[in-house]
């Protein structure tokens, strides 16, 4: 039997360094993509929904996004899976009717987000949208019996205070009170929908092998009928207006950016840590705030600046405490297995 030549320690060190460098490069790329996607989505929404731009139908845009997302995911699955059959995929998906619950909730959430962005300032929206952290935590306790750390409760208080501070200027503007109320209520119910849907999906996929592309395609398959129905109902009393009225290059860019969000999330789940995701969210909140102030859409009062900072700190505090709890659970499970 021939003797295998020994690997050089220097070669092993170089391979490790190359692997680390590749991971760091992937993390940097994911960070840039996540910041870009989060920031550009909000800014494009706000820009396209301005009164001086041609008005488009929100339900039609959401339906188009779901269609593009479904088509893209199916193409990626067919390229990655040999012998892929669309009919088998449909049959497998329809055998999981529970997926209809989060799919419907996400479809409702997507419509509510546009209403919120339309009626709130950019800063108010990006800050208030972080309330989905609280919603997710509440539903995790109720549905998954998870326990929250005391510091996570502190992060909830900080998050709530930050949201109130950001809304101080809006509350003083009586002429815009109704718009801001509609926007805030929309964010509230969008966060509830997102939180419940996320926890519900965690229950469904906890022991499954479904990858992120199949998951997105399955959810889109369930949500497409509802989004098309909402688009048809929205256009029903607008017979004299084209269904794609107001669609321009910016709206199409928004659709492509949101449809690509699923692929970016796939990269985040594979390569990103909790710290990286929080950093990306924080950078996106800061960028949206700066652009909003620079464009004259918002003012830079001390209440708003303090509110944004409190929300950023609360996001990091909640995420780091959650990561610490997960590490403790892993260590306890490892100790139990060692005892056995």
Q: Domain boundaries in the chain?
A: 57-243+294-335
Q: What's the whole-number mean pLDDT along residues 257-273?
A: 70
Tell me how far apart the alpha carbons of residues 161 and 306 are, in angstroms, rounded to a whole number.
10
pLDDT at 243: 83
Task: List all residues 6 or more positions away from 42 whose beta carbon is below 8 Å from its beta carbon.
Answer: 117, 122, 125, 126, 284, 288
H helices present in the chain, as ranges: 9-48, 58-80, 86-94, 100-119, 122-128, 132-144, 150-166, 168-172, 177-204, 212-236, 249-259, 261-271, 274-294, 302-339
39-74 burial, b at 16+ Cβ within 10 Å, e below that, comes to bbbbbbbbbbbeeeeeebbbbbbbbbbbbbbbebbb
Most confident of 53-57, 67-71, 260-264: 67-71
pTM score, two decimals?
0.80
Reduced 3-state DSSP string for 116-131: HHHHCCHHHHHHHHHH
Q: What's the rounded Cα separation, in Å, for the pair 108 and 99?
A: 14
User: Best-predicted range by mean pLDDT among 74-88, 242-256, 261-275?
Assistant: 242-256
Question: Using one digit for the tens of pLDDT, what is the confidence trace for 122-165?
Answer: 888 988 888 888 888 888 888 888 888 888 888 888 888 888 88
């Amino acid at each position: 039997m021939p003797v295998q030549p020994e690997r050089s320690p220097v070669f092993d060190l170089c391979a490790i360094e190359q692997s680390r460098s590749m991971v760091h490069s992937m993390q940097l790329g994911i960070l840039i993509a996540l910041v870009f996607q989060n920031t550009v989505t909000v800014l494009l929404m706000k820009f396209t929904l301005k009164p001086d731009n041609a008005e488009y139908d929100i339900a039609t845009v959401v339906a188009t996004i779901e269609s593009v997302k479904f088509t893209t995911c199916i193409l990626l699955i067919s390229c990655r899976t040999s012998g892929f059959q669309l009919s088998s995929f449909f049959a497998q998906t329809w055998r999981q009717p529970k997926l209809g619950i989060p799919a419907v909730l996400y479809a409702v959430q997507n419509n509510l987000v546009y209403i919120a962005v339309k009626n709130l300032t950019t800063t108010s929206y990006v800050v208030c949208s972080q309330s989905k952290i609280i919603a997710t935590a509440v539903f995790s306790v109720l549905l998954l019996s998870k326990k929250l750390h005391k510091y996570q409760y502190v992060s909830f208080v900080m998050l709530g205070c930050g949201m109130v501070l950001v809304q101080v200027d809006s509350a003083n503007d009586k002429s815009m009170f109704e718009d801001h109320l509609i926007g805030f209520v929309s964010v509230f119910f969008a966060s509830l929908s997102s939180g419940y849907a996320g926890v519900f999906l965690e229950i469904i996929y906890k022991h499954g092998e479904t990858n992120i592309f199949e998951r997105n395609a399955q959810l889109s398959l369930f949500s497409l009928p509802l989004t098309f129905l909402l688009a048809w109902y929205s256009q029903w009393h607008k017979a004299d207006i084209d269904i794609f009225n107001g669609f321009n290059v910016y709206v199409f860019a928004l659709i492509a950016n949101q449809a690509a969000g699923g692929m970016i999330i796939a990269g985040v789940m594979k390569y990103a840590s909790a710290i990286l995701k929080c950093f990306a969210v924080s950078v996106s909140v800061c960028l949206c705030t700066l652009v909003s102030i620079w464009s004259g859409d918002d003012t830079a009062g001390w209440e708003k600046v303090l509110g944004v900072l409190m929300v950023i700190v609360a996001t990091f505090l909640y995420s780091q405490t959650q990561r610490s709890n997960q590490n403790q659970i892993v260590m306890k499970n490892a100790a139990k297995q060692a005892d056995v």
